[in-house]
Chain A
């Protein structure tokens, strides 16, 4: 029986061609800021590198929305050494900053990658690095350079070297949990099933994913180690086993179970496997998410007649309602500094991403809808990744906290949902 299953697995794997999946994702900037800083990434001097390193850096920084990238054809020349730069001509083109670099093969499958970031008006260098990279890691190296440039120019940590997890569903209704680079490249399937897969959640150390699988035609929660593929079933109670959320210290999982009747929030100790009930209403309680200090858990409940966001101490106790405007507030989670809560605010036909200031409890809608869901903060807190749908096609979007910058990650085929930015 197990043998047959394994064979089926292999056959399906081959037909899915997951090993060779590449660049299914394409990113479009749908909204940028007018005050974006002019920045020129001069194409790197390169001897036959298989990856366009400066192109990747250019795309990263462009989709951040912070920069107005100079088009290659507008560049007066393409210097790749500092001494070759004529700063006056770049000043005349109103470029605040420029980046030059080189990618040079060392002949053993390795490349020397170097870059320099200059303040054009001061004609001075702000940043300069030289690093070695294998062929396979050239994209990763490019993302790392993007992070360095972004942090130098904005003071904020970049997220270009980060990863995202999400669930795709293709036309044959095969569901896959995938992990990809933040720009959608290098997607890897970590689980696949013809039954639904849902709610991938990163462990705080970024090494594991918890997710919901219906592969046995009932809901169960698994924790899978990414490096080894090894996985453990941590919950398969009668009824709902859903909405896993890791405690910030990685020792516990908040989750939704309906084993006692109505769906309630529980905390599962991952070492002792002890289960503690956190919410006790007769209504729907689901979508738990921890505060960054681990002291409390926000969740969704319809105890008041429609779904609203509530908060409770992670030790249990008094449950307090947080949202009061609108008839539908769900899917709340904290920013890493604990100052904001991102959530979905909706009514029958229109669902948008909104931010709640945890000090004033004021709520600001930051996307236009109509079907935006499953928001997830970037680890640097600067962007929110969420799932959206238009004309029946699902895609991912990222938006800045003020709603001013927006980018769309478009899948070439099928649906993509439940995104989660790696910590």
Chain B
């Protein structure tokens, strides 16, 4: 099985060296005559050509739309200027410090029912990537449920988890990790 695959593009000739011993030949010769599907040589072009892999919207593609909504989103003294909620390791529980921030955004969304947001859940790099996708979703959903309790409608809030795939800070120490365990509140253009 394995041999067939390895042999896919070249054929072994039926010629044996004269000194060849008796007990290791026929099976490999049989295998050698088989051919299988061509390799993956053209997969990179065709694979990419038909994909919609690049959407050309830039690296983060978000973030700054909120700052165009009004001065309160840029005033460092206004909780609306804060759009990142941080979490403890392996936890999706909202810490008390961030409750006023979430409340401020919830109130804005209730007052502006056409405004939609995406809550992007993220984790630090430690642990299993797919488990971190689940953990990131819990972080985003924690923020979403606090907003919904305050009257933000289901249709205003979209949730996505990027797990550890979109770090805000690079590095393998606590100062980077604490910046990466987060939910980002991303305002979407109307």
Contacts and interface: CB of A to CB of B under 8 A. Distances in A.
Given A134-B9, A147-B6, A226-B43, A9 B130 contact: no
Given A125-B20, A130-B15, A351 B126 contact: yes
Contact of B10 (A140, A192, A193, A231): A140
Given A131-B13, A188-B40, A217-B61, A306 B90 contact: yes
Contacts of A314: none
A331 B128 contact: yes
A192 B50 contact: no
Contact of A258 (B6, B43, B137): B137
A252 interface: no
Interface string B120-143: 000001111111011101100000
Interface stretch (A23-31, A42-50, A194-202, A404-412): A194-202
Interface string A189-214: 11111111011000000110000011
B44 A189 contact: yes
A144 B55 contact: no
B53 A192 contact: yes
A198 B134 CA distance: 14
Contact of B55 (A5, A373, A379): A5
Interface residues of A, number: 100
B7 to A, nearest CB: 7
Given A198-B130, A306-B90, A9 B51 contact: yes
A219 B127 contact: no
B155 interface: no
Interface stretch (B70-78, B98-106, B107-115, B157-165): B157-165
A129 B11 contact: no
A240 B12 contact: no
Interface stretch (A11-19, A60-68, A290-298): A11-19
A199 to B, nearest CB: 6
Given A116-B19, A137-B9, A231-B50, A216 B37 contact: no
A214 B160 CA distance: 10
A126 B51 CA distance: 50
Nearest to A244: B130
A116 to B, nearest CB: 6
A390 B173 CA distance: 11
B4 to A, nearest CB: 10
- Interface SS of chain B: helix, strand, loop or mixed? loop
B80 to A, nearest CB: 23
A287 B130 contact: yes
Nearest to A192: B53
A230 B46 contact: yes
Interface string B41-58: 111111111111111111
A286 B12 contact: no
Given A258-B137, A287-B131, A328-B127, A125 B43 contact: no
Interface string A211-235: 0011111110000101111110000
Contacts of A4: 56
A351 B90 CA distance: 14
Given A82-B19, A191-B53, A227-B43, A198 B129 contact: yes
A348 B133 CA distance: 17
A256 B44 contact: no
Contacts of A196: 162-163, 165-166
A242 B133 contact: yes
A330 interface: yes
B41 to A, nearest CB: 7
Given A132-B10, A240-B133, A188 B128 contact: no
Contacts of B24: 127, 152
A154 B99 CA distance: 62
A339 interface: no
A131 B12 contact: yes
A112 B10 CA distance: 11
A333 to B, nearest CB: 12
25 contacts: A8-B54, A82-B17, A114-B17, A116-B17, A131-B32, A141-B10, A157-B2, A175-B165, A189-B44, A191-B51, A191-B53, A194-B54, A196-B163, A196-B166, A198-B133, A226-B39, A226-B43, A227-B38, A231-B51, A239-B159, A256-B130, A258-B137, A286-B130, A371-B126, A392-B170
Given A144-B10, A194-B57, 15 more contacts: A13-B48, A125-B20, A144-B3, A173-B59, A190-B40, A191-B48, A207-B37, A215-B52, A230-B46, A231-B50, A263-B134, A263-B137, A330-B131, A346-B126, A373-B127
Interface of B: 2-3, 5-7, 9-13, 15-17, 19-21, 24, 28, 32, 37-59, 61, 89-90, 125-131, 133-135, 137-138, 159-163, 165-166, 170-172
